[in-house]
Amino acid sequence: MHKEKYLGVIVIAILSLIWSSTWLAIKIGLDTIPPFLAAGWRFLIAFIPLFLYSLKMRRPVPKDWRTHLFFIGFSFVNFTAGYGLVYWGEQYIHSGLASVLFTVMPFYVAIFSIKLLPSEEINAKKMLGILIGFLGVLIIFNDQIELSGENVVYGMIALLISPGFSALGTIIGKKARTRFHPVTLNTFPILYASLSLFAFHFAFGSGQPATFDTTAILSLLYLGIFGTALAFVLYFWLLKTTSAVLMSLITFITPPLALLWGWLVRDEPITLNLVIGMVVIFSGIGMVSKASKKQTVE
């Protein structure tokens, strides 16, 4: 039991380091590659090591059409829609700001859990936490609108919608974890996400130029191998024994680190209102977390 507890802490630390840096890696890739194309290549690269690893583990390859239909639906919710919006929105905003806006994910998880995870009911404290988090978002929006133009607003809206899909994907993945090994649960959905994102690129962004220079290729490799293949297997492994709401609290750690990465590498601004808004959001998340822990004990 103690070994598993310490292993969980180590895995959460690894995930926080990886996911705090992926926001910057996405921004670097977007310098020369259109958003849907970049996301499509990221997931295609991630599929290769996952598939090879599943073969090495001798995991059975699902062959029935019902399983693959589930994988396609799960893929669209958790990867195509969620990450498509992240990539599209981050064209217009800084990487650190994107990571902070994505912290609203625990609020989506708390709301969706009402219907999808009956053991995690909503209560007055959770609702107050959600409202406090929304106040933090308003503070950040007011700050960024004053500093930037129209496209930034659209980018911020995309980053606020995307965690809704990721939250729903987290809950679906938690429920599906009883039927599928974490490698299986990610391998084919990631392949389907890659294909659908390529389709989105050819439908909506084929006129945009793409340059695969060394920096862009390294960004894609890092995001595909570490930021996707390794990270999601670790994430869904943790979901087997951890509350979906509590797992989403990895967002406590990643935004400050992401802000630091963006400031150090690309000189992205860190405004006072951005920090205040982030702290307010964290206060709301903390309230939701405490309410969830209390329900678990009861």
Residue 73: the pLDDT is 94
**pLDDT one-digit tens code per residue, 92-122:** 999 988 988 888 887 887 778 776 665 556 6
- pLDDT beyond 50 at 57: yes
Q: Tell me the percentage of the chain whose pLDDT exceeds 70.
A: 86
pTM of the model: 0.84
* Residue 177, pLDDT score: 76
pLDDT of residue 227 exceeding 80, the answer is yes
In this predicted structure, the answer to whether residue 2 has a pLDDT above a threshold of 60 is no
The answer on pLDDT for 59 being more than 90 is no
Is the per-residue pLDDT at 6 higher than 70? no
Better-predicted residue by pLDDT, 59 or 154: 154
Which of 121-130, 182-191, 199-208, 253-262 has the lowest average pLDDT? 121-130
Please determine, for residue 297, whether its predicted confidence score (pLDDT) is greater than 50.
Answer: no
Can you give the pLDDT at residue 171?
83
Over residues 228-233, mean pLDDT: 85
Average pLDDT, the chain: 84
Using CA atoms, how far apart are residues 271 and 277, in angstroms rounded to an integer? 10
For the cut 50, the answer to whether the pLDDT of residue 75 exceeds it is yes
Per-residue pLDDT reduced to its tens digit, 9-56: 778 888 888 989 999 999 999 999 999 999 999 999 999 998 998 888
